[in-house]
Amino acid sequence: MCRIGAIKSLNYTHPSQALLLMQSQQKGHDNSGFAMIMHDLGGIFESYKHLPTLSMACTDEGLKLAEDILHAAGFQRVMQWVPETNPQPGLDIIAMPNYVFETFDYPKAYKRSADQKEKEELLLDIRLQLRAALEKDEQGFVYSFWPDVVTLKEIGDPRDIGTYFNLWEADDRFTAKVITAQCRQNTNYDIVRYAAHPFFLQGYTALANGENTFYLKNVEFQSKLHRGYIGFESDSQCFLYSLHYVHRELNWPLSYFKHVITPLPFQDIERHSDREQLLAIRQSLAHLEINGPNTIIGVLPDNSMFTCCDAKKLRPVVIGRSEDTVVISSEVCGINEILPDRNWETDIYPNEREVVAISNDLEVQRWKQ
Amino acid sequence: MEAIKVQSVTPNDMPWKIRYDASRCTLCGSCVSACSFGAISPKIERRRMVFSEGEFPEPKQRFSAVPVIRQVQSVTHYCRGCGICEKVCPNDAIGPDRNMDTRHPILTRCLGGESIKRGGRKNLESTARTLDKIRVGRISQMTDPSLDAQRHTFDLLAPFGRILPAQKLPISVDPQGKLQSDTKMPPVQWIYPVVIGDMSIGALSWRMWEAVAMAVAYLNEQCGMPVRMCSGEGGVPSRLLRSRYLKYMILQIASGHFGWNRIVKAMPDMVEDPAGVLIKIGQGAKPGDGGLLQAGKVADHIQAIRGVPKADLLSPPNHQGLYSIEESVQKMFLSFNAAFKFRVPVAIKVAASATSVSVFNNLVRDPYNIVGGFFLDGIDGGTGAAHEVSLDHTGHPIVSKLRDCYMAAVAQGRQGQIPLWAAGGLGKTGDLAADAFKMMALGANGVFTGKLILQMAGCVGNDMGRCNACNTGKCPVGITTQEPQLVHRLDVDRVAQNIVNYYLAMDTELKKLMAPIGNSSLPVGRSDALVATDRGVAEKLQIQYVC
Ligand code: SF4
Ligand code: SF4
Lateral strand order in the sheet of A4-13: A93-94, A149-156, A33-41, A176-182, A4-13, A325-329, A318-321
Higher pLDDT, B172 or B370: B172
| Domains, chain B, with CATH or none | 11-114 (3.30.70), 132-545 (3.20.20.70)
Q: Is pLDDT at B316 greater than 80 in this prediction?
A: no
Residue B7 alpha carbon to ligand 1 centre in Å:
24
Amino acid B324: pLDDT: 64
Contact B526 A312 (CB under 8 A): no
Pocket test for ligand 2, best of B477, B481, B490 (most atoms within 8 A of CB): B477
Beta strand pairing call for A204-210 and B16-20: unpaired
CB A333 within 8 A of CB A207: no
Query: What mean pLDDT comes out for the span B196-200?
Result: 90
Rounded-to-integer distance, Cα A119 and Cα A121, Å: 5
DSSP state of B323: S
Report the range of poorest mean pLDDT among B259-268, B431-440, B537-546. B259-268
Pocket test for ligand 1, best of B14, B16, B104, B466 (most atoms within 8 A of CB): B16
| pLDDT, averaged across chain B | 91
Per residue, the 3-state secondary structure of B347-415, as one string, reads EEEEECCCCHHHHHHHHHCCCCCCCCCEEEECCCCCEEEEEHHHHHHCCCCHHHHHHHHHHHHHHCCCC
Q: What is the pLDDT of residues B30-81, one digit of tens each?
A: 999 999 999 999 999 999 999 998 899 999 999 999 999 999 999 889 999 9
Question: How would you classify residue B386: left for phi > 0, otherwise alpha for psi between -120 and 50, otherwise beta?
Answer: beta
Distances (CA, A) of B517 to A218, A324, B309: 16, 43, 55
pLDDT per residue rounded down to tens, chain A (369 residues): 678 999 999 999 999 999 999 988 876 666 778 899 999 999 999 999 999 999 999 999 999 999 999 999 999 999 999 888 888 888 888 889 999 999 999 999 998 888 999 999 999 999 999 999 999 989 999 999 999 999 999 888 888 998 999 999 999 999 999 999 998 765 566 678 888 889 999 999 999 988 888 999 999 999 999 999 999 988 889 999 999 999 999 999 999 999 999 999 999 999 999 999 999 999 999 999 998 888 999 999 999 999 999 888 888 899 999 999 999 999 899 999 999 999 999 999 999 999 999 999 999 999 999
Query: What mean pLDDT comes out for the span B461-481?
Result: 93
DSSP helix/strand/coil, B144: coil
Higher pLDDT, B149 or B76: B76
Contact A284 B164 (CB under 8 A): yes
Amino acid A190: pLDDT: 67
Amino acid A235: pLDDT: 86
Residues ≥6 apart with Cβ < 8 Å to B237: B201, B305
Rounded-to-integer distance, Cα B446 and Cα A289, Å: 18
Contact A213 B519 (CB under 8 A): yes
Kindly state whether residue A55 falls inside one of the protein's structural domains: no
Rounded-to-integer distance, Cα B275 and Cα B226, Å: 10
Rounded-to-integer distance, Cα A178 and Cα A25, Å: 20
What radius of gyration, in Å, describes the C-alpha atoms of chain A? 20
Rounded-to-integer distance, Cα A130 and Cα A153, Å: 17
Kindly state whether residue A290 falls inside one of the protein's structural domains: yes
Beta strand pairing call for A204-210 and A199-201: antiparallel
Report the range of poorest mean pLDDT among B34-38, B317-321, B411-415. B317-321
Structure pTM? 0.93
Longest CA–CA span in chain A (Å) reads 63
Q: Please, what's the b/e burial string for B302-323 (b: 16 or more CB within 10 A of its CB; e: otherwise)?
A: beebbebeeeebebeeebeeee
Amino acid A316: pLDDT: 85
Query: What mean pLDDT comes out for the span B131-145?
Result: 85
The reply to whether omega before B15 is within 30° of 0 (cis) is no
Question: How would you classify residue A182: left for phi > 0, otherwise alpha for psi between -120 and 50, otherwise beta?
Answer: beta
Question: How would you classify residue B542: left for phi > 0, otherwise alpha for psi between -120 and 50, otherwise beta?
Answer: left
Bridge partners of B179, per DSSP, are: B173
Amino acid B315: pLDDT: 75
Distances (CA, A) of B426 to B132, B293, B419: 11, 24, 18
CATH number of the domain that residue A296 is part of = 3.60.20.10
Ligand 2 contact, B481 CB (< 6 A): no
Q: In chain A, what is the straight-line distance between the N-terminal and C-terminal CA atoms, in Å?
A: 28
Rounded-to-integer distance, Cα B44 and Cα B64, Å: 10
> Which residues of B make CB contacts under 8 Å with A?
140, 143-145, 147, 152-153, 155, 157, 159, 163-167, 169, 171, 173, 177-181, 185, 188, 190, 410-413, 415-416, 517-521, 524-528
Rounded-to-integer distance, Cα B107 and Cα B492, Å: 38
Q: What are the two backbone dihedrals, phi and then psi, of residue B61, each rounded to the nearest 5 degrees? A: -130, 150
Spatial CA neighbour of B482 closest among B345, B298, B320, B349:
B298
Beta strand pairing call for A354-358 and A305-309: antiparallel
Domain hosting residue A296, numbered range = 3-49+148-368
Pocket test for ligand 1, best of B17, B30, B37, B470 (most atoms within 8 A of CB): B37
Contact B190 A266 (CB under 8 A): yes
Amino acid B325: pLDDT: 61
Shortest CB distance from B166 goes to which of A213, A214, A284? A284
Per residue, the 3-state secondary structure of chain A, as one string, reads CCCEEEEEEEEEECHHHHHHHHHCCCCCCCCCEEEEEEEEECHHHHHHCCCEEEEEEECHHHHHHHHHHHHHHCCEEEEEECCCCCCCCCCCEECCCEEEEEEEECCHHHHHHCCHHHHHHHHHHHHHHHHHHHHHHHCEEEEEEEECEEEEEEEECHHHHHHHCCCCCCCCCCCEEEEEEECCCCCCCCCCHHHCCCEEECCEEEEEEECCCCHHHHHHHHCCCCCCCCCCCCCCHHHHHHHHHHHHHCCCCCHHHHHHHCCCCHHHHHHCCCHHHHHHHHHHCHHHCCCCCEEEEEECCCCCEEEEECCCCCCCCEEEECCCEEEEECCHHHHHHHCCCCCHHHCECCCCCEEEEECCCCCEEEEEC
Kindly state whether residue A234 falls inside one of the protein's structural domains: yes
How many domains are contained in chain A? 1
Higher pLDDT, A8 or B312: A8
Q: What are the two backbone dihedrals, phi and then psi, of residue B178, each rounded to the nearest 5 degrees? A: -110, 155
Residue of chain A whose Cα is closest to the Cα of B184: A276
Amino acid B303: pLDDT: 82
Q: What percent of chain B has a predicted confidence (pLDDT) above 90?
A: 66
CB A347 within 8 A of CB A320: yes
Spatial CA neighbour of A293 closest among B243, B525, B141, B256:
B141
In degrees, rounded to 5, the angle at the alpha carbon of residue A197 between the alpha carbons of residues A261 and A301 is: 70
In degrees, rounded to 5, the angle at the alpha carbon of residue B117 between the alpha carbons of residues B112 and B123 is: 120
Q: Is pLDDT at B521 greater than 80 in this prediction?
A: yes
Distances (CA, A) of A318 to A21, A315, A334, B382, B481: 12, 10, 10, 57, 66
Distances (CA, A) of B237 to A64, B257, B336: 78, 15, 20
Higher pLDDT, B211 or B143: B211
Q: Please, what's the b/e burial string for B324-356 (b: 16 or more CB within 10 A of its CB; e: otherwise)?
A: eeeebbbebbeebbeebeeebbbbbbbbbbeeb
| pLDDT, averaged across chain A | 92
Q: How confident is the model at residue B528 (pLDDT cuts 50, 70, 90)?
A: very high
Amino acid B145: pLDDT: 75
Residues ≥6 apart with Cβ < 8 Å to B288: B282, B317, B351, B390, B394
Q: What is the pLDDT of residues B422-464, one digit of tens each?
A: 999 999 999 999 999 999 999 999 999 999 999 999 999 998 8
Q: Which of A187, A287, A291, A359 to mutate to test the interface with B (most CBs of B within 10 A)?
A: A291
Contact A215 B528 (CB under 8 A): yes
Q: What percent of chain B has a predicted confidence (pLDDT) above 70?
A: 97
List the residue whose alpha carbon is closest to atom 6 of ligand 1: B85
CB A165 within 8 A of CB A85: yes
Kindly state whether residue A83 falls inside one of the protein's structural domains: no
Kindly state whether residue A62 falls inside one of the protein's structural domains: no
CB atoms near residue B494 (< 10 Å): 12
